[in-house]
Amino acid sequence: MVDAASNKPARAAAEFAPVRQTAAAPSAASPYRLATGGIVDRSAPLLFSFDGRNYGGLRGDTLASALLANGVRLVGRSFKYHRPRGILAAGSEEPNALVELREGARREPNTRATVAELYEGLAAVSQNRWPSLWFDCMAVNSLFSPIIGAGFYYKTFMWPASFWEKLYEPMIRRAAGLGRAAGMPDPDTYEKAFAHCDVLVIGSGPAGLMAALAAGRAGARVILCDEDFEFGGRLLAECRDIDGRPCAQWAGSLLAELASLPEVRMLKRTTVFGAYDHGVYAAIERVADHLATPSPHMPRQRVWNIVAKRTVLAAGAIERPLVFGNNDRPGVMLGGAVRAYLNRFAVKPGTRAVVFANNDDAVATLLDLAAAGISVQACVDPRGADAGVVRAAAQRIGTRFVNGAVVRARGGHRLRAVDVSAVAEPWHKLTFPCDLLAMSGGWSPSVHLSSHLGGRPQWSDALAAFVPGPLPRGMSVAGAAAGEFGLAACLAGGAKAGAEAAGDCGFAAKPVAMPGIGPEPIGIAALWRVRAKRGKAFVDFQNDVTVSDIELAEREGFRAVEHLKRYTTLGMATDQGKTANVNGLAIMAELTEKTIPATGATRFRPPYTPVAIGALAGHHRRKDFKPTRLTPGHAWAQEQGAVFMETGLWLRAQYFPQPGDNSWLDACNREVTATRNAVGVCDVSTLGKIDLQGTDAGLFLDRLYANAMSSLPVGRARYGLMLREDGFVLDDGTVSRLAEDHFFVTTTTANAARVMQHMDFCHQVLWPDLDVQFVSVSDQWAQYSLAGPKAREVLQKLVDGQHDISNTAFPYMAAGEVTVGGGVPARLFRISFSGELAYEISVPARFGDAVIRAVVAAGAPLGIRPYGLEALSVMRIEKGHVGGAEINGQTTARDLGLERMVSSKKDFIGRVMAGRPALLAPDRPAFVGFKSVGDGAIGAGAHFLPVGAEPSARNDEGHVTSVAYSPTLGHLVGLGLLKGGSKRLGEKMRAYDPLRGRDTLIEVCSPVFYDPEGARLRA
């Protein structure tokens, strides 16, 4: 579902059922389901299971609403004390109701039941309990709570230190874990996608809908995201009238219009979880989380990178719990959640209720409870005269109003009663039997995304809440997220923000007509904790952080909010303190007698809600982590049974095994021997290839390479050495001159991109005045190296007859254009890395497959063998050529014995810095060869030590860089970097390798073991 066309809302407006309930009887199947109302589909019953027991729910339910409909109140155990927990909220802020969803490889721990969309066959189990949710042995932890308060593991498990990793940590993790990961590879796929828009609207409540509508009508490209599986936000959960219609119905007509606008894309089940620079937002779309298994070709989840010119944050607000004794008992619920279960899900979360609030939100809760036929035992409000509207509402439904506070909840696995202390008679405790307590401590705007780029939220005393501070560029905030509480304010704020955002993008928006809405009280008086509390008073439900823990942190000096968070774990874990943070820091402010702004808030960081790592990885896993490059001859090599190795992104043939080989070494030896005695062929298409043209191309190369290139005659090739600015060797390769103003350069496979980048920098920044143009042709040419005494004979069968490639006409280091196979253009270079008579032949890549087959066919009577990287490496070691192990970024031309190549007649990059005194020091490790004179293996990385010297860094004289068994010579041959270098030929040293437990006697020698006169390559 990537474009707007497939995102039509599931229902047209008229299909929204009326919401307002009159006293309705529970249905037989689900005892707490109201007979009418809500936006659940009673014609679509769904079966699901929780802890192995089957229940019935309806399409449109969340797991939480379906459990409540079945009277299930106890859904989990708390993190540390294993206290019985129920459902606190109705949205993504839920701290308690975490379950393991699905089974087997798809098992997903810590899923919030309040956002898990019900589907047929959904299977969930409770977490963090043993042996059962009802009887949890670990609940004994509660008895130890005096010693396992905040920071207990910092204090308790100090000694002995070695016990931490082996004993204490595993023990704590077992006792205080949450869910279990599947432990198997995830069978589903995840993907990433990019989206662009003029206006991104985050949240589809009243403000978000109006913003999207205003911007969409103006013609702007709009993306509307909501984390819920239905658009509408609180409009679905409230029982209000807009323009004389139930608000959910009214939302339906807006959604229908939005869906009809071609440039409005609506993404539901999509949480915008992060705000980044330049208007980039990350969102996670739960494409198939509401299905038992994703349909074929459907990703499970998709991460969106949304690039928005403007953004309207309309993420609403999160209700705060009140902090009193045992406020975590199942049945204690947020007031707004109670209304959501009643109005949206048609579920009674209890049968006898008490309402406890410090703000006017209680009015709606009281009326909705009464309308659903739930008897309200009492309405408790700590405010006096200010609570007038609440008192009036209580009176209207015949409920007793108490000016006071709930001090303690009673009950264990479910709420049985609440103890209330009235302001008038604090010595006289009132007890109200109930199984539902609807509480509200006020609403905290969801400012998270406004703060991801560093803007600190600001405290509003009037609202008793943080509102957004300095905003990310391009963002505006509307509705409850901006502290615009009240439906009318949300609608107006959203419409204004949407119109302004569209206007900023060049789309003139007409004012959206404001619908008629009744008045709404939003008064509040802060109440951060009930001081007369009895029992544990939880601030952070998910982390079992109580008021006592905050008091302890204060006493022990962890008073700064970020310290408070780390010391007590307040605001950590999957909910990141959505319901807890403000209460926690406000209590700390009280304890330290500071204001809330002076106390500050912890920093908000992405993600807003948990995002699976798998979704962030998308398709980029296993072999798809990065692209793979294949040469034109790859299919042929595969047919030969080649074993491939990764070199950068490339796959290259390492060796070609044959039946009867004992190891790779047999194959390697065979390939070397065939090449030395007859002929071998190797795919070198992976070399970096660069085409240079222009009148200054020669001059450009002179400045890039340490040796001269402008003096190279047309039709000749030259080995080239390129230094870095700091004088160390960057890369080696070959330069061939194809015409006066036309060169062809090869680089090593590993440094191809780096050399190209270096050239681009040098041309664009250092010498833009030079007339030189260059472009990578690495992919244009397939290139093969033919090496061995019979190489020319093979080549003569391939190259068209008019081209004379005899030793006289085409000598060592010749380069030129030829044709092969009857007119196919090709380039031929007489270059040798192996030390044999050798050529490299390039053909356009489309002929790469055919040419390698033709080469092998032509060479078969002469004993040709393909050879891989192992044989290539052995032959270059035998010949004493430097490779990647020697050009390691720490060696100069002098170190590598290549100082003869360095021109003294011209300037070039690296010349000055290579002359620094330390780089000319006589005892710098320099390039040598060595032979083994002891018995025992030698590996690269072994250190050279004087015979008899103590193995210490002080006595270290260099190291082995490359070593191989030479089938040609019948012994080990090695290369290394040794202090003093070639001055020490003939000396005996030790190759000391403590990592592999080896210590072998060697003799220093010339690095050129094979054909030192170079007769073979000129043959």
Out of 182, 617, 630, 699, point to the residue binding other proteins (CB under 8 A). Answer: 630
Beta bridge partners of 196: 307
Out of 424, 462, 857, 1015, point to the residue binding other proteins (CB under 8 A). Answer: 857
- Fill in the amino acid letter for 496: K
Binding string, residues 730-769; x marks residues near other proteins by CB under 8 A: ---------------------------------------x
At its nearest, how many Å lie between other proteins and the CB of residue 43?
24
291 is an interface residue for other proteins by CB under 8 A: no
617 is an interface residue for other proteins by CB under 8 A: no
| Segment interacting with other proteins, rule: CB under 8 A, options 167-175, 542-550, 844-852, 968-976 | 844-852
724 is an interface residue for other proteins by CB under 8 A: no
Contact yes or no for 487/242 (Cβ under 8 A): yes
Binding string, residues 107-146; x marks residues near other proteins by CB under 8 A: ----------------------------------------
- What is the spatial distance between Cα 744 and Cα 209, in angstroms, rounded to a whole number? 61
Nearer to other proteins, 484 or 840 (CB): 840
Strands (E), 750-880: 773-776, 781-787, 815-820, 824-829, 838-844, 865-866
At its nearest, how many Å lie between other proteins and the CB of residue 705?
20
Residues 146-185 that bind other proteins (CB under 8 A): none
Residues 196-215 that bind other proteins (CB under 8 A): 196
At its nearest, how many Å lie between other proteins and the CB of residue 737?
15
Looking at residue 168, the DSSP 8-state letter turns out to be I
- What is the spatial distance between Cα 274 and Cα 270, in angstroms, rounded to a whole number? 12
- Strand 824-829 and strand 815-820: the pairing is antiparallel
Cα separations (Å) of 69 from 53, 56, 349? Answer: 14, 9, 7
Rounded to the nearest 10 degrees, the angle between the axes of helix 206-217 and helix 247-260 is 30
Out of 379, 845, 874, 977, point to the residue binding other proteins (CB under 8 A). Answer: 845
854 is an interface residue for other proteins by CB under 8 A: yes
Strand order in the sheet with 375-381: 332-334, 436-440, 352-357, 375-381, 400-411, 415-422, 429-433
| Segment interacting with other proteins, rule: CB under 8 A, options 35-43, 358-366, 846-854, 998-1006 | 846-854
Helix and strand totals (H; E) in the chain: 25, 48
503's enclosing H/E stretch is helix 487-504
Could you tell me which of 333, 309, 306 has the C-alpha nearest to residue 319?
333
193 is an interface residue for other proteins by CB under 8 A: yes
Nearer to other proteins, 209 or 690 (CB): 690
Contact yes or no for 300/190 (Cβ under 8 A): yes
778 is an interface residue for other proteins by CB under 8 A: yes
16 is an interface residue for other proteins by CB under 8 A: no
Nearer to other proteins, 189 or 888 (CB): 189
At its nearest, how many Å lie between other proteins and the CB of residue 607?
20
Binding string, residues 302-341; x marks residues near other proteins by CB under 8 A: ---x-x----------------------------------
Cα separations (Å) of 361 from 59, 309, 319, 323, 533? Answer: 29, 36, 10, 17, 23
DSSP line for 254-316: HHHHHHHSTTEEEE-SEEEEEEEGGGEEEEEE-SSTTSSSPPTT--SEEEEEEEEEEEEE---
Residues 802-841 that bind other proteins (CB under 8 A): 820-822, 824-825
Grouping H, G, I as helix, E, B as strand and the rest as coil, residue 962 is strand
At its nearest, how many Å lie between other proteins and the CB of residue 774?
8
272's enclosing H/E stretch is strand 270-276
Q: What is the CA radius of gyration of the chain?
A: 38
| Segment interacting with other proteins, rule: CB under 8 A, options 233-241, 297-305, 905-913, 986-994 | 297-305
- What is the spatial distance between Cα 267 and Cα 301, in angstroms, rounded to a whole number? 13
| Segment interacting with other proteins, rule: CB under 8 A, options 368-376, 561-569, 628-636, 700-708 | 628-636
Nearer to other proteins, 168 or 767 (CB): 767
Out of 257, 590, 691, 1011, point to the residue binding other proteins (CB under 8 A). Answer: 691
Number of residues that bind other proteins (CB under 8 A): 66
- What is the spatial distance between Cα 695 and Cα 672, in angstroms, rounded to a whole number? 42
Contact yes or no for 759/704 (Cβ under 8 A): yes
Beta bridge partners of 815: 829
| Segment interacting with other proteins, rule: CB under 8 A, options 194-202, 560-568, 859-867, 880-888 | 194-202
Out of 38, 84, 232, 299, point to the residue binding other proteins (CB under 8 A). Answer: 299
Looking at residue 325, the DSSP 8-state letter turns out to be B
| Segment interacting with other proteins, rule: CB under 8 A, options 529-537, 541-549, 694-702, 936-944 | 694-702
Out of 20, 396, 626, 916, point to the residue binding other proteins (CB under 8 A). Answer: 626
Nearer to other proteins, 1 or 1001 (CB): 1
Could you tell me which of 174, 207, 110, 81 has the C-alpha nearest to residue 576?
110
Out of 414, 797, 803, 931, point to the residue binding other proteins (CB under 8 A). Answer: 797
Out of 192, 456, 566, 911, point to the residue binding other proteins (CB under 8 A). Answer: 192
- What is the spatial distance between Cα 608 and Cα 586, in angstroms, rounded to a whole number? 22
Angle at 489 between CA 485 and CA 490, to 5 degrees: 75
- What is the spatial distance between Cα 927 and Cα 931, in angstroms, rounded to a whole number? 14
Contact positions vs other proteins (CB under 8 A):
2-3, 191-196, 221, 295-299, 305, 307, 619-620, 624, 626-632, 635, 650, 685, 691, 693-696, 769-771, 773, 775-781, 797-798, 800-801, 820-822, 824-825, 843-851, 854, 857-858
